[in-house]
Amino acid sequence: MTKKINKRDIGKLLTQWNQEFAIFVPSKEGDTTKMTSWDGKDVSFLDWYRNTVIPPKASFFPPLEEMFHFQKNKGSYDLELPASDGQKKLIFGIRPCDAKALAILDMIFKDAYEDPYYLSKRENTVLVGLGCTNPYDSCFCTSLGSNPSDSANVDIMLTDIGDQFLMEAITDKGKSLIANTSGLDDATEADEARAKEAQETSYRKVTKRVDTKDIEERLLSCFEDQDYWEKVTAKCISCGICTFLCPTCYCFDINDELVKRQGVRFRSWDSCALPIYTKMPMENPREEKWQRVRQKVCHKYEFYPMNFDVIACTGCGRCIRQCPVNWDITQILASLPVKV
């Protein structure tokens, strides 16, 4: 099912969908961009949006999330789970790399362990993808089995064809939504040809490359090479930005806040890049910076593929763009010894 819509009618489209869904769109808050609740009128993101700084994973796995309240009694506790709003959500404009990242997170929060907090949001959300027309020079999605117009992990895919967007229904969710949406026109063969040309052009704009051939074996072969890891991580300052802004990182910490007998348990993003991440009462197995960076790189490109048969990186380039010391994971991977 392929339709099209004029760009000037996107506000009307979102207003129509807003009758059924809470709409989330790219927005700016100072120097930070992220997906936030649509205000019902602003569609200016269509002019400036390339990708958000904070990945859309925050809509499903928030930086800080309440797990439950508790009342401490004599010898027992009373627990109260947070109320679910039950509101269906629609994320408009998610990039293919971030949609793929959610599919990767599903393997942890759905397949390996059913996380009710994540799943309650994930299963109640429609993803409307928007293909990239202007990838960053730090993007390398094409090296990781994706591309700027990849529709594999969204419900509806939009492709910029000039004054209009081509709309393709991908899943049953997407087909149902488009079938019940008014104001759409049928796409023509000429429209589809323009879309294909735009997609090919975007693909060619991704010029950064990573060779992932035998990547697991190459990482394994240099795992114990401390000199190598110290050299490639010398300028890292262990700030954790690369992991906090990574769309596939999922580490979190759990803490309780207790005032008298009333308390709340919450979880918050954590990072293997931080010195205290693995600190235990008697030791810290990753006290040195090179050990922590090695863990981050190996987890994404060696350990995760071993467990789930997919690299836990989508090539979105955030870790490169936002790093304060210009540490580039693609350069690190390129410097790995070649398997003989």
Mean pLDDT within 13-25:
97
In a domain, 138, yes or no: yes
Q: What is the pTM of this model?
A: 0.94
- Specify if 221 maps to a domain: yes
Identify which of 237, 324, 319 has the alpha carbon closest to the alpha carbon of residue 274: 237
Q: Average pLDDT of 290-318?
A: 96
Residue 1 predicted with pLDDT over 80: no
The average pLDDT across 32-57 equals: 96
Q: Report pLDDT for 340.
A: 54
- pLDDT tops 90 at residue 283: no
Is the confidence at residue 117, as pLDDT, over 90?
yes
Evaluate whether 24 touches 59 at the Cβ level (below 8 Å): yes
1 or 15: which leads in pLDDT: 15
Q: Quick one: 146 and 198 in the same domain?
A: yes
Q: What is the pLDDT of residues 212-222, one digit of tens each?
A: 999 999 999 99
Asked whether residue 130 carries a pLDDT value surpassing 90, the answer given is yes
Residue 319 has pLDDT above 60, yes or no: yes
pLDDT at 339 (0 to 100): 58
- Please check the confidence at residue 44 and state whether its pLDDT lies above 70: yes
Residue 57 predicted with pLDDT over 80: yes
Instruction: Please tell me whether residues 157 and 243 are part of one structural domain.
Output: no
Residue-wise pLDDT for 154-165, tens only, equals 999 999 999 999
DSSP secondary-structure letter at 54?
S
Question: Is residue 210 assigned to a domain?
Answer: no
225 SS3 class: coil
Looking at the fold, whether 144 and 188 belong to one and the same domain comes out as: yes
Residue 35: inside a domain, yes or no?
yes
Kindly state whether residue 339 falls inside one of the protein's structural domains.
Answer: no
pLDDT for the residue 31: 84
Last residue of a domain, one of 149, 179, 205: 205
**Statement to judge: residues 107 and 175 lie in one domain:** yes
Q: Is residue 307 part of a domain?
A: yes
Q: Using one digit for the tens of pLDDT, what is the confidence trace for 80-92?
A: 988 877 789 999 9
Q: Cα(328)–Cα(244) distance, rounded to whole angstroms?
A: 16
Q: Are residues 170 and 236 in the same domain?
A: no
Asked if 192 and 232 sit in the same domain, the reply is: no
- Number of separate domains in the chain: 2
Task: Choose the final residue of a domain: 140, 174, 205.
Answer: 205
Q: What is the mean pLDDT of the chain?
A: 94
In sign, the C-alpha dihedral spanning 151, 157, 161, 166 is positive
The answer to whether residue 324 is domain-embedded is yes
Average pLDDT in the 247-272 region? 94
> Looking at the domain assignment, is residue 129 inside a domain?
yes
Check residue 260 and give its pLDDT.
87
Whether 199 and 232 map to the same domain: the answer is no
Confidence check: pLDDT of 267 > 90:
yes
Helix (H, G, I), strand (E, B) or coil at 71: strand
Same domain membership, residue 239 and residue 149: no
Residue 251 has what pLDDT?
Answer: 95
Domain span at 261: 215-334
Where a domain ends, among 170, 205, 240?
A: 205
**Do residues 178 and 292 both lie within one domain?**
no
Q: Are residues 88 and 228 in the same domain?
A: no
If residue 12 lies in a helix (H) or strand (E), which one and from where to where? helix 10-17
User: Do 236 and 143 fall within a single domain?
Assistant: no
Give the model's pLDDT for residue 58: 97
pLDDT of residue 83: 82
Q: Is the distance from CB of 238 to CB of 275 less than 8 angstroms? A: yes
Residue 14: count of CB within 10 angstroms of its CB: 20
Task: Please check whether residues 262 and 311 belong to one and the same domain.
Answer: yes
**pLDDT over 80 (residue 26):** yes
